[in-house]
């Protein structure tokens, strides 16, 4: 079980980024959350097995590549903190 925290910057708000993230998380059976940050970036915190997380992030970045300019990623050990994947406001 792994946990990843990613901050995506660019034109990532107002383009369906959070809804795409939720859809993909369900597809890859990932738990966690996504939220917009006040500075215009988007934060994703997700848990799952290493393979599923990698596929989830690759899929998200492929779909949203036209909007992402940079990302800051931090991997750690998962703690099974989440039951679902949702949008935080």
Catalytic residue among 36, 39, 50, 58: 36
Q: Is 39 a catalytic residue?
A: no
- Is there a contact between 40 and 87 (Cβ–Cβ < 8 Å)? no
Q: What is the DSSP string of 17-49?
A: HHHHHHHHHHHTT-EEEEEE-TTS-EEEEEEE-
Is residue 36 among the annotated active site residues?
yes
Question: Which is catalytic among the residues 18, 39, 63, 88?
Answer: 18
Active site residues: 18, 36
């Amino acid at each position: 079980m792994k946990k990843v925290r990613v901050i995506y910057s660019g034109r990532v708000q107002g383009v369906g980024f959070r809804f795409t993230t939720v859809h993909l998380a369900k597809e890859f059976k990932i738990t966690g959350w996504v939220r917009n940050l006040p500075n215009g970036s988007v934060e994703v915190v997700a848990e799952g097995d290493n393979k599923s997380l990698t596929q989830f992030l690759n899929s998200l970045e492929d779909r949203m590549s036209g909007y992402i300019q940079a990302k800051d990623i931090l991997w750690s050990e998962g703690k099974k903190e989440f039951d679902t994947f949702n949008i935080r406001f």
